[in-house]
Amino acid sequence: MERHRLGFWLVGTIFAALIGVTPSRAVTFSPFGDFGEGGSGLGQTFTIGSAGEVYWIQAFLDVDGDMQFLNQDLLDAYTLGFAFSNLLTPDGTNLFLHYAITNMGSAATPPLWFYTWLDVDLGTDSENDIASAAGYLGMDVSDPDPDGYEIADVYEFEIGKIRGDRLSGTAADVVLSLGFDLGVLAPGATVGVNLLLSENGGLIGSLALLQQDTETAHETVLTYSGRLGAPIPEPATVTTVALGLLLPAFRRWGKAVRNRTLLWKARGKGVA
């Protein structure tokens, strides 16, 4: 590439990043499973970014301390109804996932937590990605924001333990998780969990987990966030942050996240 053309390319790329535009549509996926599960490990085609693949995405439900895959047996055991839906924005850069859980029984449910497992692999090597958290945690069921998160290597991940950032910038086969305190569902009540996988810095809620490839750090940054509520998108609630501004925010917000995480653990909800 000639120097002046390279210069134009760089300027264009930086400009695109600053205004939050990705040049080409890159989130593609075949149908999810009935419970929102997917990824190439489960036979689904699911790409994100310039060279990213979702290996496994899975929802879990903790019922009164008992952590299980979200599946029909679990729903039947607690008389829960369930619906999953997804929506890709027209520009192909933001994928919204919605999980709705309804108490179909005649009594209140036990305390519920919803957890996610997201194993994305960026680039050609799955074991050299890095991730960080930006923003802050919610406190409990009283707010729609995530109440815990985990960033860990796939081999050290403990679903439901929500131990914060276990990598601190170390390259690994990154898995991301968000946890939501759903509280107790009254008979007939429905709670919705929205997740957003974005390749252009889009986020919902107060916390974002960001994953990059150390090989191609200039390329895709996966932004993973979530919030309770009715199905999104509600365009006004989606924040698109320029990547050039978002990445330094890791450092700016990191201390706040750690403090909130420590506070959260101090409240007895975490596991050290």
Contact mark string toward Ca ion, 207..246, x via CB under 5 A: ------x---------------------------------
- 197 lies in the binding site for Ca ion (CB under 5 A): no
- 156 lies in the binding site for Ca ion (CB under 5 A): no
Nearer residue to Ca ion within complex by CB, 161 or 227: 227
Residue 31: how many other CB atoms lie within 10 Å? 9
Contact mark string toward Ca ion, 10..29, x via CB under 5 A: --------------------
Nearer residue to Ca ion within complex by CB, 69 or 136: 136
Q: Does residue 175 contact residue 154 with C-beta atoms inside 8 Å? A: yes
Q: For the CB of residue 73, give the shortest distance to Ca ion in the complex, in Å.
A: 27
Question: Of residues 14, 40, 143, 217, which one binds Ca ion by CB under 5 A?
Answer: 143
The whole-angstrom separation of Cα 269 and Cα 266 is 7
Both structure tokens of 269: 């909800």
- 121 lies in the binding site for Ca ion (CB under 5 A): yes
The whole-angstrom separation of Cα 83 and Cα 267 is 32
Nearer residue to Ca ion within complex by CB, 130 or 241: 130
Q: Does residue 158 contact residue 150 with C-beta atoms inside 8 Å? A: yes
Question: Rounded to the nearest 5 degrees, what angle is found at the Cα of 212, between the Cα atoms of 169 and 231?
Answer: 115
- 138 lies in the binding site for Ca ion (CB under 5 A): yes
Question: Of residues 36, 52, 123, 148, which one binds Ca ion by CB under 5 A?
Answer: 123
Q: Does residue 100 contact residue 192 with C-beta atoms inside 8 Å? A: yes
Q: How many residues does the chain have?
A: 272
Point out which residues pair with 239 in neighbouring strands.
203
* DSSP state, residue 123: S
Q: For the CB of residue 227, give the shortest distance to Ca ion in the complex, in Å.
A: 9
Q: Footprint of Ca ion on this chain (CB under 5 A)?
A: 119, 121-123, 125, 128-129, 138, 143, 145, 147, 173-174, 213
